[in-house]
Amino acid sequence: MSAWRFCVGTGRMELALRRDYQDSLALVQREIGFRHIRGHGIFADGMGIYRPYRFLKNEHQRHSYTYLDQVVDAYLELGIRPFLEMGFMPSQLASGDQTVFWWRGNVTPPTSYQAWAVLVRGTIAHLVDRYGLDEVRSWPIEVWNEPNLPQFWQNADADAYHRLYRVTADAVKDVDAALQVGGPAISPGSDEWLETFADFVIRHDVPIDFVSRHAYSSGPAQHIPFGTHQTLEPATRLLEQFALPRQQLAGTPLDGLPVHITEFNSSYRPDNPIHDTAFHAAYLAPVVAFGGEFADSYSYWTFSDMFEEEGVSTELFHGGFGLLTHRQIKKPTFHLYAFLARMAPHLLSRGDDHLATNDPAGRITVLAWAPVDHVDLRQSPERHSLRLSLPFSGSQAFLLRSSADEERGNAWAAWREMGRPASPIPAQVETLRECAEPVRTHSRLPVSGGQVEIDIALARHEVTLLEITPVADTTPPWWDDARLLGATS
């Protein structure tokens, strides 16, 4: 049941050096607690790893881990482990000039596959030296990102990718045979790539420990200045994408390999305001709640708005992927994950609008969400009722309910009412943080016949968490509310 927390996405690795990034990750880890983190750019120039030089008229290859070590140290200190992605190409090792993103990741093959192998082997070996073999064996190592798209891999050349995969996988296994390597990290829209890739690794007996792909549910980009709008497919399409690799590999020698959805989100654009809404949390709730039935992990792209693929953002809320904005304002989708993180381990009940769990101590948790209209969010129902009767061991039940919807736990709504301050002053940031907190209510719930009765209404786009605990009532026999202001007679 923890596939949802196995991994989370991030902007390029260099950003992990930043304080705002680390502050955000610390908050995410404190309230959610992901296991791994995956992003691009370990070999980007900004990380400074690949460092050829001349000495005594010869070329030499030096690797520098000044920043890589700072990043990984920070990750481990924050209780999260890398899910490594080998890419993109250092410009001094690249065969061409093509780059992707504002930050110019080079997406061309290496001039020398041997030098690339030395780079991969050296880097992985360094990590093993520094962090220990047991530790690094737990870090999946993925080869490149979305090679099926020409903007991410020159000409989307499958043969070139297969060569790169093989060289990389071999280099990793040179360090240690138990390290986990995988691919092909494809985007949606080229599902056949996985089959071709599987054929290649099977045919050539290339090492592979897991397969990976991405999942998005948005239509083409409709640009506005500093932003994008897109239509969305139903959220179930994401689950279908999660499910596809297992279906494709069924019956092949790769059947049973772990399947990692190494990126997923509604829109693939870092400037689509839908990411900031309550709708987004309710839309994704069933995906995050049930995705684990279809894949071994699915990594929300990304934990923070500190992300620069389209350049530096110009407004606090700019439609970034983040669960958090810069300066750690929580978005509704943050709450979806934070609610899940508070749930009990054992499945009790599930449905189109809820997931209920409990634990051996008798604590029940229910995650519930309102249904959404994925075509016109203004048409989503204003109110949704949920009634559940769940087995409960206590005689009395205390309910803590936490909610986020169009109004509550919704800093984006408050920010719009404030007039959309692009870079809020500290007092505004403080107000936004207060408005971002889920609303908490508490009450006693009726228990009878070993069942606790839940009858709640959800507001439009609400995501809510119910935490129900047995009450051991220690009210003393002398207590009388009527005497709070004394007995006057």
Footprint of a second copy on 285-324 (CB under 8 A): 311-316
With both helix axes pointing from N to C terminus, report the angle between 278-290 and 236-249 in degrees, rounded to the nearest 10.
Answer: 30
- H or E element at residue 198: helix 192-203
| Closer to a second copy by Cβ: residue 213 or 331 | 331
Distance CA 421, CA 443 (A): 37
User: Would you give the binding string for a second copy spanning residues 268-287, x where CB under 8 A is met?
Assistant: -----xx--x-x--------
Window 396 to 455, contacts with a second copy (CB under 8 A): 396, 398, 400, 402, 407-408, 413-414, 416-423, 425-426, 431, 434-435, 437, 439-444
Residue 1 burial (10 A CB sphere; 0-12, 13-18, 19+) = middle
Written as one letter, the residue type at 110 is P
Q: Which stretch binds a second copy (CB under 8 A): 176-184, 243-251, 345-353, 476-484?
A: 476-484
Question: Least distance in Å: CB of 381 to a second copy?
Answer: 16
Contact status, residue 211 vs residue 182, Cβ threshold 8 Å:
yes
Tell me how far, at minimum, the Cβ of 332 lies from a second copy, in Å. 14
Residue type, 6: F
Which residue lies nearer to a second copy by CB, 59 or 159? 59
Main-chain phi, psi angles of 9, to 5 degrees: -90, 165
User: By CB under 8 A, which span of 113-121, 187-195, 198-206, 229-237 interacts with a second copy?
Assistant: 229-237
- Residue 58 binds to a second copy (criterion: CB under 8 A): no
Task: Give the span between the Cα atoms of 278 and 461, in whole angstroms.
Answer: 6
Nearest distance from C-beta of residue 220 to a second copy, angstroms: 8
Nearer to a second copy, 198 or 284 (CB): 284
| Residue position matching structure tokens 């994008």 | 228
CB-based burial, 394-407: b 16+ in 10 Å, e otherwise: beebebebbbbbbb
Kindly tell me which residue out of 189, 219, 234, 450 binds a second copy, with binding defined by CB under 8 A. Answer: 219
| Residues 11-50, interacting with a second copy (CB under 8 A) | 17-20, 22, 46-48
Nearest distance from C-beta of residue 181 to a second copy, angstroms: 24
| DSSP 8-state class, residue 218 | B
Contact between residue 65 and residue 131 where contact means Cβ atoms under 8 Å apart: no
CB of 409 to a second copy, least distance (A): 10
Residue (63 or 163) nearer to a second copy, CB? 63
HSE-CB at 288 with a 13 A cutoff on CA atoms is 30
* DSSP annotation string for 393-438: -SSSEEEEEEEE-SSTT-HHHHHHHTT--SS--HHHHHHHHHHHSP
Eight-class DSSP state of 483: G
Binding positions for a second copy, 362-401, rule CB under 8 A? 374-378, 396, 398, 400
Q: Choosing from 146, 309, 315, 467, which is the catalytic residue?
A: 146
Q: Which of residues 70-99 bind a second copy (CB under 8 A)?
A: 70, 73-74
Candidate ranges 66-74, 82-90, 105-113, 330-338; the one touching a second copy (CB under 8 A): 66-74
Q: What distance in Å separates the CA atoms of residue 309 and residue 398, rounded to the nearest whole number?
A: 46
Of 14, 142, 263, 310, which one is the catalytic site residue?
263
As measured in angstroms, the least distance from the Cβ of 192 to a second copy is 27
Q: Which is nearer to a second copy, 151 or 222 (CB)?
A: 222
Judged by CB under 8 A, the residue of 62, 204, 346, 383 near a second copy is 62
Terminus-to-terminus CA distance in the chain, angstroms?
A: 60
Q: Does 487 bind a second copy (CB under 8 A)?
A: yes
Q: Which residues pair with 399 in a beta bridge?
A: 443, 468
Q: Which of 415, 224, 417 is nearest to 317 (CA)?
A: 415
Q: Is 263 a known active-site residue?
A: yes
Nearest to 88 by CA among 195, 175, 14: 14
Tell me the C-alpha distance between 259 and 275, whole Å. Answer: 25
* Nearest distance in Å: CB 243, a second copy: 25
Nearest to 324 by CA among 5, 9, 6, 7: 9
Which CB atom, from 137 or from 327, has the smaller least distance to a second copy? 327
Among 59, 177, 387, 472, binds a second copy (CB under 8 A): 472
Using CB under 8 A, pick the residue from 229, 237, 246, 350 that binds a second copy. 229
> Is 222 near a second copy (CB under 8 A)?
yes
Q: Which is nearer to a second copy, 186 or 429 (CB)?
A: 429
Task: Compute the least distance from the CB of residue 464 to a second copy, in Å.
Answer: 14
Shortest distance in whole angstroms from residue 234 CB to a second copy: 12
Q: Residue 72 belongs to what H/E stretch? A: helix 66-77
Site string (113-142) toward a second copy, x via CB under 8 A = -----------------x------------
Under a CB-based contact definition with an 8 Å cutoff, are residues 262 and 38 in contact?
yes
User: Is residue 467 among the annotated active site residues?
Assistant: no
- CA separation for the pair 280, 232 (Å, rounded): 11
Q: Give catalytic residues, as residue numbers.
A: 146, 263
